[in-house]
Amino acid sequence: IPTLIVHGKKDETVDFDDAIELQNSIKNSILVTIDQGGHVFNSSHPFDKDHLSLELKTALDQSIIFIKQ
């Protein structure tokens, strides 16, 4: 099953090494790294659709690209 993993390198909740370990343990997985992204990709929750961070937009764009493949 193709699997997309999107993870922020600056996530203080889930260590980036966990994302790498997850990718290594799931066949056919792709890890997309958001270099400046935190746990919610530098956004606040609930998300304001009119003011999404660049990091969240990147995560969403990469997710859409993955789903369309």
Helix (H, G, I), strand (E, B) or coil at 37: coil
Half-sphere exposure of 31 (CA within 13 A, CB side): 17
Q: What is the CA radius of gyration of the chain?
A: 12
Average pLDDT estimate for 63-69 = 96
Residue pLDDT, tens place only, 18-55: 999 999 999 999 999 999 999 999 988 788 888 899 99
* Whole-prediction pTM: 0.87
User: Please, what is the Cα angle at 54 between 57 and 20, to 5 degrees?
Assistant: 75
Helix (H, G, I), strand (E, B) or coil at 45: coil
* pLDDT score, position 22: 97
